[in-house]
Amino acid sequence: MYLIRCCFCCTSTLGCRDKITRSFAFHPPNPPGYIIEQTQDNYHMLLIDEYGVQTKPIEVGWVSSEIVMLSTSRNQNIPAVYFKNVHAIFTVIFSHGNSTDIGIMRNFIADLSVQLKVNVLLYEYTGYGQSTGKPSEKNIYADIEASYNYLTEVRGIPWKYILLYGQSIGTVPSCELASRHKVGGVILHAPIASALQMFSKKPSSSPWFDFFSNVTKIPYIKCPIFLLHGIEDRQIPVKHAERLASFVRHEFPPWWVKDAGHNDIEIKHRREYLNRLKLFIESILELIQLPDEELDEKFKPFDRKIPQDELPGFNSFNVLQE
């Protein structure tokens, strides 16, 4: 572990951080799971399966979808799919896991939009699929920031109706955004505590040269957070989510899922998975009925300039009791 920490420190000091994180953490599907074609002013997506067969995405009558192209603050262009459910109150920004892309996730997200009655913005990472550039930690932060700005500035959606859903590596940009911007709630599915803690058997501190450090950001998030993690997860052990749970300020009962690994909670436990997500969304809906002034202060992230040991004490509360 000491040698690994030294390696992380040296690469960060020497300016090789992006190369290390790229080889360590980012594995875009090759070939991508989709192609996007432009006809006049519109974009159309075709899905590509593992055999190279192209198919049209599944469409549902009360959920429309639209391909949008977003420009990030790091001068990259990323595609996103915006699902609009006619019954929706909330809009979810979905940050997908590694070794997948918005094409592979597209039909699953369409179904999630139907089941949860939410709008969803499924965005791509820089360097994945038909995005420009190369993936990096800074780029995925810029990617989700562009997605948030699109919803608030272009779609005109108030922050309190925006939820973040991050899965696996997607929990990293989700925590980063929520630690800097107001959102209604955050869902962390199989989260990582930090990159260094992937190599440690016990929870530890996160030094300045660590990366993907959710554990140093989650204390700054003031909105409710729902954590779910498979107990049999071998890629990211459940200890990561347990570590993060100890820093959650507005508590919603976490879900440690028996007989579930890294990518199968939504398959093996579909009914309970959807029910728990619905309960979380309902709890947020109840919470945001507070007066705007009170809600603004309750959900406004802490100033990131304040050291963690100087943050106010935890103000946890159970939005719903099990």
- List residues with catalytic annotation: 168, 233, 262
**Is the peptide bond between 219 and the residue preceding it cis, with omega within 30 degrees of 0?**
no
H/E element holding 23? helix 17-25
For residue 10, the tally of other CB atoms under 10 A from its CB is 12
Strand 185-189 versus strand 225-230 pairing type? parallel
Pairing state between β 77-85 and 91-95: unpaired
Asked if residues 121 and 150 have their Cβ atoms less than 8 Å apart, the reply is yes
Backbone angles phi, psi at 305, to 5 degrees: -80, -15
Q: Which residue's structure tokens are 């009925």?
A: 289
Give me the half-sphere count of Cα atoms (radius 13 Å) on the Cβ side of residue 46.
Answer: 8
Residues in contact with 285: Cβ distance below 8 Å, sequence separation at least 6, in sequence order:
89, 90
> Contact at 8 Å (CB) between 103 and 47?
yes
Helix (H, G, I), strand (E, B) or coil at 5: helix
Beta strand pairing call for 34-39 and 63-71 = unpaired
310: CB partners within 8 A, 6+ apart: none
